[in-house]
A and B are shown apart, each in its own frame.
Chain A
Amino acid sequence: MGGKVTCTLGEVKQRADFIIYWGGNPAECHPRHFTKYTLMQKSKFLPKGRKDRTMVLVDIRETKSVKASDIFLQVRPGKDFELITILRALVKEQHVTDAQIAETGITREVLDDLVARMKAAKFGCMFFGMGLSMTRGKHMNSAALLTLAAEMNAFTKFVAMPMRGHGNVTGADVIMRWQTGFPFGISFNRGYPRYNPGEFSTVDVLVRGDCDAAFIIGADPGGTMPQPAIDHLKRIPTIVLDPHITHTSKLARVHITTAAQGIAAPGTAYRMDEIPMPLKPALKSPYPSDEEVVRRINEAIAKKPFWIPEGSMPQMLTEQV
């Protein structure tokens, strides 16, 4: 689980009586999250369902999810890290000045009330979205929230879980952790995996112009990335694997059409709580699956000399002893 204090959505459904959504809009981005897992379900431990649960929403603006919430905290944009740090201090009854609280755009009364409710909860769960993890502070925001969840366990059961979008991104994390030991932002250029977000993460690599070829699978950076990154993708040979001709395909040197996962291609996808789900494709696609195409590319690469100048694979440690 990568060190997170977390649980499965099944546990949330059965037990969580205090839910915080931070920087996410599940009403529009994960429409069945409320009804299937977090708010509406009744259980042995929460027989009255919605009435037994409290939902807090933290966001910079009023979204459609506000209607579903009991408490809405409108945090000043870019002040999430400060707010989490203040909450961590208040939970431990440490001194926080009025000026520090005023900076976040929320009053002391509201925060004191929130902390009291968090401590009184039987099972608290914090879901955080891209509004937290992709704004100022980035992964440090997520780390702060996960720390708050861990520290809350001195008082009551508390967990945190990222709200993952886009199908199988959770699977990508899990597979990379399993294969390399790191979840994303990995470089193999020394022959072994190294992890350094900021240096090896895609936006940074593209904006600096560090890579001289790009292989894009199941994503459309041409539609989501900043312009300097897209410009670099245009300059270098880009290869795209996608069921559709995407923005990125139009600027790519090679595009290969593949079958859409879960609709025409079988396999496994991970749910946001890291539970693997088998896919049940309904249609037979005229295109090959991603898996087949990538495997065949790997076979073609394996026929060429290895990338180290001598053209030999690095020796295993056991062989050197």
Chain B
Amino acid sequence: MSATAAKTETPLQVIDNATCTFCGCVCDDIQLHHDEMRIHKAKKACVLGTAWFLNHTAEKKYPAALIDGKEATVDEAIEETARLLHEADMPLIYGMSNTTCEAQKECAAMADSLGGLLDSHTSL
């Protein structure tokens, strides 16, 4: 109860013309009301967009990384990833739909440096 009371006391920060990346429409007119931990309101967003914005929080809900199901640091996971991909003869780089263009460019570079396969969510 006290937590919710504290939240209503501090005014929410507002971001105008935020971009929603849930579907291919990429609506760029959303108004977000947030308190740095979670988004409380997504004005102009559709049903799907509202769910997308309100379901993500800045809480640490999951471990930073998992190796073989056990918790690990990001540094260890990066080293292990590089080792597994480098050892493979034909690694596949796949997905790239829910990520930024900047990360996608790095993925293209990764497939090139590994001599592997590169494919997007387009070919499901």
Enumerate chain A residues within 8 angstroms of B65, measured Cβ to Cβ. Answer: 254-257
In the complex, the number of residue pairs spanning A and B with C-beta atoms less than 8 Å apart equals 340
Chain A CB within 8 A of B10 CB: no
Contacts of A293 in B (CB 8 A): 74, 78
Assess the A175–B25 pair: CB atoms within 8 A: no
Q: Which of A181-236 contact B (CB under 8 A)?
A: 183-189, 191, 193, 197, 200-203, 205-206, 210-219, 221, 224-225, 236
Chain A contacts with B in 23-40, Cβ cutoff 8 A: 29-33, 36-37
In the complex, chain B residues whose CB is within 8 Å of the CB of A307? 86, 113-115
A225, A237, A243: the one contacting B56 at CB < 8 Å is A243
Those 5 A-B pairs whose CB atoms lie nearest each other, nearest first? A267-B100, A219-B95, A164-B24, A213-B88, A300-B82
Point out the residues of chain B lying under 8 angstroms from A291, CB to CB. 100, 102-103, 106
Chain A nearest CB, measured from B44 CB (Å): 8
Q: Which residues of A contact B109 (CB under 8 A)?
A: 179, 298
User: Which of A183, A188, A210, A225 has the most chain B CB atoms closer than 10 A to its own CB?
Assistant: A188
- Closest residue of chain B to A214 (Cβ to Cβ) is B92
Residue among B57, B63, B78 having the largest count of chain A Cβ atoms under 10 Å: B78
Residues of B with C-beta under 8 A to A174: 101
Q: How far is the CA of A71 from the CA of B20 in the complex (A)?
A: 31
Known: A191-B115, A279-B100. 6 other contacts (CB 8 A): A175-B105, A202-B123, A211-B117, A244-B62, A277-B19, A297-B78
Whether the pair A237, B48 counts as a contact (CB closer than 8 A) is no
**Known contacts being A257-B63, A307-B114, is A218 close to B39, with CB within 8 Å?**
no
Chain A positions within 8 Å of B95 at CB level: 216-219, 221
Residues of A within 8 A of B115 (CB): 188-189, 191, 307-308
Complex interface: chain A residues within 8 A of B79 (CB)? 300
Contact between A304 and B97, CB atoms less than 8 A apart? no
A96 at the interface (CB under 8 A from B): no
Set of chain B residues within 8 Å of A283, measured between Cβ atoms = 34, 36-39, 56-58
Inside 8 A of B32's CB, which chain A residues have their CB? 280, 282
A7 proximal to B (CB < 8 A): no
Question: Is B94's CB under 8 angstroms from A214's CB?
Answer: yes
Contacting pair A31 B94 (CB below 8 A): no
Is B124's CB under 8 angstroms from A214's CB?
no
Contact (Cβ within 8 A) B18 A211: no
Is A49 interfacial (CB-CB < 8 Å)? no
Chain B residues with CB under 8 Å of A215's CB are 81, 85, 91-94, 107, 110
Answer whether residue A245 sits at the interface, using C-beta atoms and an 8 A cutoff: yes
Cβ–Cβ < 8 Å partners of B18 in chain A: 262, 280, 282
**B124→A134 contact, CB < 8 A:** yes
When chains A and B are docked, how far (Å) is the Cα of A290 from the Cα of B93?
14
A149 on interface, CB distance cutoff 8 Å:
no
Q: Does A170 contact B (CB under 8 A)?
A: yes
Chain A residues whose C-beta falls within 8 Å of the C-beta of B60 in the assembled complex: 286-287
User: A residues within 8 A CB of B85?
Assistant: 213, 215, 239, 297, 301
Please tell me which one of the listed residues A134, A265, A271, A295 contacts residue B24 in the complex, with CB atoms under 8 A apart: A271
Question: A284 CB to closest chain B CB, in angstroms?
Answer: 6
- A141 within 8 Å of B (CB atoms): no
Q: Shortest distance in angstroms between A214's beta carbon and chain B's nearest beta carbon? A: 5
A selection of 18 A-B contacts at a CB cut-off of 8 Å is A167-B26, A168-B96, A168-B98, A171-B101, A173-B122, A212-B89, A212-B90, A214-B92, A217-B95, A225-B124, A253-B68, A253-B80, A255-B65, A262-B21, A269-B26, A297-B82, A300-B79, A307-B86
Which residues of the partner chain A approach B89 to less than 8 Å between Cβ atoms? 212
**Please, what's the 1-or-0 string for B5-34, where 1 marks a CB less than 8 Å from any CB in chain A?**
000000001010111111111111000101
Query: Which of these, B57, B78, B111, B122, contacts A188 with CB under 8 Å?
Result: B111
Q: Is the CB of B103 within 8 A of A280?
A: no
Please give me the residue from chain B that is nearest to A221 by CB atom. Answer: B94
Quick one: which of A128-187 are within 8 Å of B by CB?
134, 163-176, 179-180, 183-187
Asked if residues B104 and A295 are in contact (CB atoms below 8 Å), the reply is no
Whether B91 and A171, one on each chain, are in contact in the complex, defined by CB atoms closer than 8 angstroms, is no
